[in-house]
Each structure stands twice: as C-alpha cells, then as structure tokens.
Structure 1
C-alpha cells in the first residue's frame, strides 16, 4: 500500500508540473505532504520527514545561492569582457574559427551555470559575424547549445544540484568522478563546432574573409551606461585569480563548496564594490534568480524527505527490483546515460530529478547498483546536453529568439549533435571505469 501511495505521489507531481497546473515548488511541497497524510501518517511524523529532508539539502542550497551571487558579481565587474573581446579578435573572419570561438566562449561564460546568461552574452556577441559572412545562424545556435549543455554538468548547475539533492549525495562526490567525462564531452563539442565551420566554409566557397576587423564590434560598445558604471576593468586579474582560488579550493575537497562560495562572494564584493550601497545593489541584481532556485531546492528537500523517510521510495524500489532480472541491473547506468538526453524532451528537470531518478536509483540499489552511478549517468544528458533544445526550459526559447531562428529548425539541426555529445560522454564513462557497460 505504501508503494502505491509513493507511485501516486510521483504521478500526481509529474502531472501537475508538466501540465502547469501547479508551480514545481508548490507541487513538491504540497502533494507529498497530502499523500503522506492520506497514507495514514500523523502530522507529527510528516513534519519530521519534511524537516529532515530540508536539513539534508541545506548545504546544497547555500552553495547554489552563493555561486549565483559570486559569478553574478564578477560578471557585473566585467571579468568576462576582455575574454569576450579576445575571442572576437582571435576568430577573425574564418568560419571554422568563428564556430569554434562560439563554442569556447559559451563554455567560458557558462561558468556561472546559467543558460540564459550564456545565450544573452554569446549570441549577440557572435551573431553579427555570422550575418556578415552569411553563415547559417543554426550553426551558431548549435555550437553554443552544445558547449552550454556539456558545461551545465558543473556542480553548481541545476541538473547536478538536483541529482545530488534528490539522491542525498554530496555534490562534489557526485561531480568529481565525471569531470574527465565532461572534458571529453567538451573536446567533442569543440571538434563538432570546428567541423560545422569547415562545412560552412565549403558551402560559402570561402577563400578569404570579407569582414574587416573594425566592423566586428567589441563588448565595450555594446554596454549600457548602467553596465559601464559597475564595470571594474582594472581588477580583471584580481577577479580571475579569485575565481581560480575559489574553484581550486572547492575541487581540492579541503573546504566545503558552500564555504568557498560564501567567502568568494564576500571578497568579490569587498574588492569590486567598496560602498555598502553598491554591494547591496549587486546582491539585489542577482537575488531573484538565486531565491527562485533556492525555493525549488527547499521544496525538493521536503519531497525527498517525505518520500524517503515514510518508506514510500523503499517500497517502490523493492517492487521494481523484484520484477527486473538481476543480471540486467549492472547495465542501468549505461542505459540511462544513453537515453538521458532525449528524456529532456519529455521531463522537465524537477519532474525527472525529483520524481523519476530517485525511484530508478533505489531500484538499482536494491539490485546492487550504486546510487551515485545512477545520478552520474543522469547528468550526462538529462537537462545538461538536453536543455538547449527542450521546449520545457525557457532558455531554449531565449536561444532561438536571439539567434533569429525557429524552434523546430533549431531542434532538427541541433538535436542529434547534442545527443551525440551525451553518447560520447557515456562511452567515455564506461572506458574510464566510472560504471560498467
């Protein structure tokens, strides 16, 4: 009976989120609590389940909030401006360099973990070159999407945070083993971007460039007066050094990620904006996006807490495990890695990571498959490489709107490139022994 209530909880959550009857935050909070009460648990027990889930997820939420503030403050200070200008100068007028530069620039800008920010920065910076050379804007959208998709696996990105939260695994423990896989994926992306550029050269009959360097336009000329007022170009090296120190400390494992980003945010504010009112303005500028995701993650903590502590998840997993041949269980991570990207077209990140993944992971665990492998397989595609073509993410519409192309055209052109990146990373994970085939 508990397993049935668990299944109903997941189905109802999926239904109301996917049909937009409720916001993800409201669904993740209200539905599991109501279902637990209907299953016969008293309000005191349900309260204990929910609070326990929130406590488990609190460090992840703190890391995410301060990661957004940290990278947002440094972006406001202009840390990325010289990098963008340099990329624009290096790519010149050769299509293969331009497409490769687009992918490289997207992977750098996506350090903040936001697809919307990546598209807002990279597409307007590169699109004039594509138009002047009469290059296909779908190539720009595809190159940027591939780079942003692979980099969305970063530990402060939405999918990895959700996977760590729903499976209650430390985020760096989940991410660090897949770092070589992510780098392999980036190498594949850069290769594809370069080949797309070579294809454009052939289509255009490219011999020599037709765009003069003074026509390309640089980041400085595109800034508004408000953006110029908060830029700190003289602190570029200091800010880059701060990023290296923060990320290095986090990856070393000697300091918890939340502490790294908290201290990094404080230092970034003190270095770039000395006056309290300036610091408040920078925090206010990024508070909305930070709090929206924090709310979702707190709600997810309640959902996973109720599902786990009530025994619903365990009973569901036990039922699934008894109906799956034990000899096939070891293939679970490999199979999930292969299909995770297309699942982005069906499930939004909250539905998948808080509804589907915990059940699959628990069922695999019952059959001897480590839970962490299931999470690692999921982030190889589900709303990582899959998010830039999914109609379930607003960033996809921003991408096609900025590039001036139709969503269907973008999906038709880019889908298999993104899926190929996911497959390459899955194979790489097998080859390095991350999980068995």
Structure 2
C-alpha cells in the first residue's frame, strides 16, 4: 500500500506541475502533506517535515550566497575585459568567433543562470554574427552547450535539486563531477572549432573595424544587463583573484561550501560597493533569481522528509527493484546518465529530481550503488535538458537570436547528445560513476 501511495503521489505531483495546475513551489509542499494524511501519518508529519527541511538548510544557504556572489561579479564588470579581449582577438574570423562564443558563455555561465549567460553572450557577439553573415543558430547552440555543462554546478539548479532530494552535500555530489565537467567543456570547445571551421570555409575571413563592432556590442550589453554606474573596472583584478581563490578553495574542500560563499560574498560586496545604498540595490537586483531557486530547495525538504519518514520511498524502491533484471543492476549509473537526458527534456528538473531520482537511488542501493553515484549520473543529462521547451531561458535565447525553436533543437541535439556521451565515458573512466 505504501508503494502504491508513493507512486500515486509522484504521479499527481508531476501532473500538477507539468500541466501548470500548480507551481512547483506549491505542489512540492502540499502534495506530500495530502498524501501523508491519506496514508494515516497526520500526527507524525510535523517532525518528518522539520527533519527534511533541516537536512537541506545548508545546501539552500550555499546556493543563495553563490547566486548573490556571481551576481556581484557580473555587476562589477569582472567579465568585461574578457568580452573586449575576445572581440579584439576574433575580429572577422568565423572560426575564432565561434570558439570565442564558447569561451565567453562558459565563463559567464559560472553563475549558473541561463538567462544571464544568454543575455551577455548574445549581446556581445550577435553584432559580429550579423555583420559577417554567420549562422545565428551556431551562436545559440554553442551557448546552450556551454550552459548544459555549467548547469551542473550546485548553484545552477540541477545539482541543488539532486542534493536536496538525496540529502547529500556538495562534497559528495558535485566535487567529483568537476573533472567530468572539464571533459564536457573540452567537447564544447571541440564542437565550436568544428562549427567555426565550417563557417570559415563558407564565408572566409572578413576584415572589419574592431572599434565599431566592439562599441556596438558593448552598447547592447550595457542596455541589457546592468547600468554602467555599477561597473568597477579598477577592481577587476581584485575580483578575478577573489574568484580564483574561491574556486580553488571549493576544489580543495578545506571548508564548507556554504561558509566559503558567504565569506566571499561579504568581501565582494564590501569592496565593490562600500556604500550601504549600493549594497542594498545590488542585493535587491539579484534577490528574485536567488529566491526562485532557494525557495524550491527549502520546500523540497517537506517532500523528502515525508517520503523518507513515511517509508514510502523504501516501499517504492522494493517495487522498482522487482522490475529490474538482475543483470542490469550493476549498470544502473550508466542507464541513469543516459535516461536523465530524455527525462529532464520531457519533464521539468523539479519533477525528475524530486519525483523520479529518489526512487531510482533507493532501488540502486539494493545493488550496492550509493545515492551519490546515482545523483552524479543524473546530472549528466543536463546538456539535453537545456534544449527543452520547458526551460524559460531557452525561449529568451530564441528571442534574442531570432531563430525557430524547432530549427535550433534539430541542429543542436546531436552535439548535446555528444556532450552527454563524452561526460558519461569520462565519469566511468575516472570512477565517478
């Protein structure tokens, strides 16, 4: 009965958010409460929910300060020199322009926000694509491929949801994935080289005036991102060193990621915007994006707390294991790596990571496969996820570039599937899955 109750709860949850009857934030809290009451756990729900929320509090705080930190870096103009340098180097060479697109989008995507990544990348480089007559779908494809890999960061959404649903911390789930992401980024650069070489062959190298193109791109960038009043060009080196130290500290893992981002944010805010009014303005600008991500992570504590406390997840896993052939058990991580691509394409990340992943992880436990391993595997499908029409940022990108969604998907899907394959192979070789 618990198994039936659990699967019914997942089905209702997924239906409500995919049909847009309820927001994911509301559904992830109310649906498990209703099914917990139906299951006869009314008097026990309070402690279950409390335990679930407490279990993911640290992850939610880390994500909050990571989003605020990278928001401050973008506002202060940390990436402006990179944009100018790329525009100066690429000039009229289509090959260099496409590779520059990859480098810029990868760097900006560090903040884990697709909207910001697409706005900055397209605003900086679309004038070049237009002027040379280059295929704008290539610009959108390369930006999406970069975002597909960088979306695996804990503050990007997918990892945060996986950590929340499986009750893992970043050192267990994300840190082992860093080298795998590295291979994914190398693949994106390789794809950019191939596509750029094709454009160079088609168009040749065109001599253009750097100053005109650069000013045009920068004017669009200024109009679509942040007022120049908040740029801090004299602090670029300080911000760069601070970010490098932060990234190195994350990899060394000598301190909690939550504490590292809190400290880094405090330093960045104080140094770049010592005036209290400026600090309040910068926090307010990024609070909407931060609230959208953090609120769903905290709310997921209710979902996971009830799923675990009522033992529904255990009953569902037993049922699922009974349907998996014995010979398939050891290969579950690889199966999950590939299955996460269509799962997260046809349903939202919320539905997959909170509805499907915990069941798979519990089932994998019967074969001696850890939840962390399944969680890592589940992230590998993100390059396909970013192509989904369910992703709001994808629609923004389509609008900025001025192309058709179907054309972009047909062009980009084979390259995105290549990213998934490369990262899966790398994860197996490195022992990550």
Match of 2:353 in 1: 353
Match of 1:176 in 2: 175
1:368-401 deviation per Cα after TM superposition (whole angstroms, max 9, x unaligned): 22211111111011xx212331011101101111
Match of 1:398 in 2: 396
Separation in structure 2 between the aligned mates of residue 172 and residue 157 of structure 1, nearest angstrom: 16
Q: Is the 8 A contact 2:386 2:394 kept in 1?
A: yes
Match of 2:257 in 1: 257
Q: Is the 8 A contact 1:49 1:309 kept in 2?
A: yes
Match of 1:37 in 2: 37
Separation in structure 1 between the aligned mates of residue 284 and residue 166 of structure 2, nearest angstrom: 32
Separation in structure 2 between the aligned mates of residue 188 and residue 220 of structure 1, nearest angstrom: 29
Runs of at least 5 residues in structure 2 that lack an aligned partner in the other structure: none
Match of 1:50 in 2: 49
Runs of at least 5 residues in structure 1 that lack an aligned partner in the other structure: none
Separation in structure 2 between the aligned mates of residue 388 and residue 401 of structure 1, nearest angstrom: 15
Q: Aligned ranges for residues 82-93 of structure 1 at < 5 Å?
A: 82-93=81-92
Offset of residue 226 of structure 1:
6.4
Q: Is the 8 A contact 1:133 1:210 kept in 2?
A: no
Match of 1:211 among 208, 211, 230: 208
Q: Aligned ranges for residues 19-168 of structure 1 at < 5 Å?
A: 19-43=19-43, 45-168=44-167
Separation in structure 1 between the aligned mates of residue 33 and residue 21 of structure 2, nearest angstrom: 18
Match of 1:273 in 2: 273
Q: Is the 8 A contact 1:342 1:419 kept in 2?
A: no
Q: Number of residue pairs matched?
A: 430
Match of 1:232 in 2: 232
Q: Is the 8 A contact 1:46 1:306 kept in 2?
A: yes
Q: Is the 8 A contact 2:69 2:261 kept in 1?
A: yes
Q: Aligned ranges for residues 370-389 of structure 1 at < 5 Å?
A: 370-381=370-381, 384-389=382-387
Equivalent residue of 2:383, what SS? coil
Equivalent residue of 1:386, what SS? helix
**TM-score of the aligned structures, taking structure 1 as reference length:** 0.96
Q: Aligned ranges for residues 263-412 of structure 1 at < 5 Å?
A: 263-381=263-381, 384-412=382-410
Q: Is the 8 A contact 2:87 2:210 kept in 1?
A: no
Q: Is the 8 A contact 2:75 2:226 kept in 1?
A: no
Q: Is the 8 A contact 2:91 2:207 kept in 1?
A: no
Separation in structure 2 between the aligned mates of residue 428 and residue 245 of structure 1, nearest angstrom: 26
Separation in structure 1 between the aligned mates of residue 42 and residue 206 of structure 2, nearest angstrom: 72
Separation in structure 1 between the aligned mates of residue 130 and residue 41 of structure 2, nearest angstrom: 62
Deviates more, 1:368-377 or 1:32-41: 368-377
Separation in structure 2 between the aligned mates of residue 108 and residue 342 of structure 1, nearest angstrom: 27
Offset of residue 114 of structure 1:
0.3
Separation in structure 2 between the aligned mates of residue 59 and residue 154 of structure 1, nearest angstrom: 16
Separation in structure 1 between the aligned mates of residue 143 and residue 181 of structure 2, nearest angstrom: 16
Separation in structure 2 between the aligned mates of residue 177 and residue 406 of structure 1, nearest angstrom: 37
Deviation beyond 3 Å, 4+ runs, structure 1: 218-222
Match of 1:421 among 414, 419, 422: 419
Separation in structure 1 between the aligned mates of residue 254 and residue 120 of structure 2, nearest angstrom: 33
Separation in structure 2 between the aligned mates of residue 67 and residue 258 of structure 1, nearest angstrom: 8
- Return closer, same or farther for 1:344/1:266 CA change in 2, 3 Å cut-off: same
Separation in structure 2 between the aligned mates of residue 280 and residue 215 of structure 1, nearest angstrom: 36
Separation in structure 1 between the aligned mates of residue 400 and residue 230 of structure 2, nearest angstrom: 25
Offset of residue 112 of structure 1:
0.5
1:74-130 deviation per Cα after TM superposition (whole angstroms, max 9, x unaligned): 211111111111111111211111101001100000011101100010011111111
Separation in structure 2 between the aligned mates of residue 192 and residue 76 of structure 1, nearest angstrom: 30
1:275-304 deviation per Cα after TM superposition (whole angstroms, max 9, x unaligned): 111111111111111112111111111101
Offset of residue 167 of structure 1:
0.6
Q: Is the 8 A contact 2:173 2:376 kept in 1?
A: yes
**TM-score of the aligned structures, taking structure 2 as reference length:** 0.97
Offset of residue 58 of structure 1:
0.3
